[in-house]
Structure 1
Amino acid sequence: MKLAIVILNWNGQQLLETFLPSVVAYADGQDVYVIDNASTDTSVSFIETHYPTVKCIKLTHNIGYAGGYNEGLKQIDADVYCLLNSDIEVTENWLKPVIHTFEAEVNTAIIQPKILDYHHKNKFEYAGAGGGFIDQLGYPYCRGRIFNSLEEDRGQYNDQKEIFWASGACLFIRAQAFEVLEGFDPHFFAHMEEIDLCWRAQNKGMTVTYVGLSTVYHVGGASLKTSNPKKTFLNFRNSLYTLVKNTHQPLLLVVLLRLILDGIAGIRFLLQAKPKHVIAIVKAHGSFYKAVPYLLQFRRQHSNRKSHHQLPSIVWSYFVRNKNYFNKL
């Protein structure tokens, strides 16, 4: 099986200096690529000078995570793409369990490994942890991470399990599946486009799998910190995008409930003296309303929709019932 490890970069030379060595060391003979999103630093010259075996694909302008991978992957010949954030440290033999799973399970289109925190290596990392799920209203959560509560890794997720979404921090996908799905939705720009991709994959009968015998360590927030209102904007807007495009439930009711809960989240930000995040939610809703014609058109054109939730409300479970751990849900 021909696998390509593909890192998307934008002005990330410092991250490449730190994390590219482990990727090259543990590539197991597979090709490594960097798609450069029109960086203005010296990332490209650094790669060409210090890592001549790493192939660099240079884009003419920054088109985000979704657009960057969509364009860059057109230039890569492989059976499987590993989409890897530039702030991830990989481990020895991390590829073998993944390749074995793809070879053994022909319906598995997407795989996520175990994602632990680079700075606290005994804990799961926010972006993906032990595999992702969403609730009835489209709020994401993970095995090992619910909102900001992170579990310690005690081997409880050293399993292999079908999940709902795989983290874009380290996402393996068959090239054929990526082509059938027409890649990421570029309307997202960044954040949560992997949830949309995984949902669309399952609507077409494909399987998303977590492989806990493969481990990577993720810094997280290297592009946008949690404290950045732009991240709040993208997360709230893109979550609504994903829900409208893909949910099998009565659309008007689900969206109305989501908008109410988003309003409550805005009040919470206000009480925390974070007015910029309140404004970000308002802007997210405004951007969402503008995109409604496109979202509804997509929905009409794709009528097969998979039941997505195992839990009515992660918000209720976490904030009201105080359920902080996945096995308590």
Structure 2
Amino acid sequence: MTFRTGDVLLECVDSVLAAPDIDELVLVNHDNPPEMVEQLEQRARHDAKLRLVHTGENLGFSKGCNIGAQAARGDALLFLNPDAVLKPGDASRLLKTVQGRAEPAIVGARLIGPDGREQRGARRGALTLGSALTGFLGLSCAFHREHEPLPSRPVAMPTVSGAAMLMTRRGFERLEGFDEGYFLHVEDIDICKRARDAGGEVIFEPRVEIAHVGSTSKISQIKVEIFKALGLARYFTLHGGVVGPLQGFVLGPVFLVGAVMRSVLFQIQARTAGKLPASEL
């Protein structure tokens, strides 16, 4: 699924098309610029492995992934962010790791940023109200585990990243896919939670390292933060038990205020570092 990702999208597509262990690439195009669409269509004309699905508008991450999964023909589904670069053998390693696991099973890769370090989000604990609040406020919390020692083999992990996540079709359909109530962010936390609750396994695969740029879509920071806030409120509404609806009602405004504050802070920091024109503050 891609929405105005930029030139890194072509690097992502080329890496997947070059991978011998990938049977097909279904790319869900959420309103990319015409010049980018033309380059994608050129690749599709020259490589039957690439199939394009044009939605005409940004329908969100969850819905885009579900559309792609429905269009795909394989028994295994690898969800890959449009700014992630796959290496030959990555997909087959993830597939081998998911085989024999209790379904619905999810296997997530280790994400490596442009600085060569493991990115936040590839391995996380179970989301709690405390970890959500501390993390959303930018405080340190045990939810993120990228600073822990790297395991040498696949390990159980409450939450892995949707930026590089593999599931069997059977497991994906058992969960009825991603929850389309999440537009952007938190949907991967949700599907991992639902997989665990259904008796499945969520596994972090440290031997698969995938380069991931991150934050490449042309969308304003404040929108990203608002979608994240709404996602968190939805998560605690759905997974909060009998008090879930009350939690969502109370936390929604809190997370939204925090989203605006975080966005302003990020922009001030970017302006101070000289990365953002004053007119964009």
Question: Which bin holds the TM-score, normalised by the shorter protein?
Answer: 0.7 to 0.9
User: Cα gap change, 1:165/1:174 in structure 2, threshold over 3 Å: closer, same or farther?
Assistant: same
The CA distance in 2 between the partners of 1:271 and 1:45, in whole Å, is 36
CA contact (8 A) 2:233 2:255 kept: no
CA offsets, 1:92-128, max 9 Å, x none? 32123211112232435111011111x111x1113x2
Aligned to 2:224: 231
User: Aligned to 2:165, which of 164, 171, 177?
Assistant: 171
Aligned to 1:70: 66
User: Cα gap change, 1:124/1:249 in structure 2, threshold over 3 Å: closer, same or farther?
Assistant: farther
Q: CA deviation at 1:185?
A: 2.0
User: Cα gap change, 1:267/1:158 in structure 2, threshold over 3 Å: closer, same or farther?
Assistant: same
TM-score, length basis structure 2 = 0.77
Identity %: 19
Aligned to 2:115: 120
Structure 1 residue matching 2:42: 3-state secondary structure:
helix
CA contact (8 A) 1:44 1:56 kept: no
Q: CA deviation at 1:131?
A: 4.3
User: Cα gap change, 1:270/1:111 in structure 2, threshold over 3 Å: closer, same or farther?
Assistant: closer
Aligned to 1:90: 86
The CA distance in 2 between the partners of 1:253 and 1:205, in whole Å, is 27
> Which structure 2 residues correspond to residues 205-220 of structure 1 after superposition, within 5 A?
205-220=199-214
The answer as to 2:180 corresponding to 1:186 is yes
TM-score, length basis structure 1 = 0.67
Q: CA deviation at 1:270?
A: 9.8
Structure 2 residue matching 1:113: 3-state secondary structure:
strand
User: Cα gap change, 1:49/1:162 in structure 2, threshold over 3 Å: closer, same or farther?
Assistant: same
The CA distance in 2 between the partners of 1:47 and 1:267, in whole Å, is 35
In the alignment of these two chains, the number of paired residues is 260
> Which structure 2 residues correspond to residues 265-304 of structure 1 after superposition, within 5 A?
265=258, 269=262, 272=265
Q: CA deviation at 1:262?
A: 4.2
User: Cα gap change, 1:131/1:224 in structure 2, threshold over 3 Å: closer, same or farther?
Assistant: farther
The CA distance in 1 between the partners of 2:67 and 2:259, in whole Å, is 35
User: Cα gap change, 1:244/1:23 in structure 2, threshold over 3 Å: closer, same or farther?
Assistant: same
Please, what is the CA RMSD of the aligned residues?
3.5
Aligned to 1:26: 19
The CA distance in 2 between the partners of 1:87 and 1:234, in whole Å, is 19
Aligned to 1:10: 3
CA contact (8 A) 2:123 2:159 kept: no
Q: CA deviation at 1:83?
A: 0.8
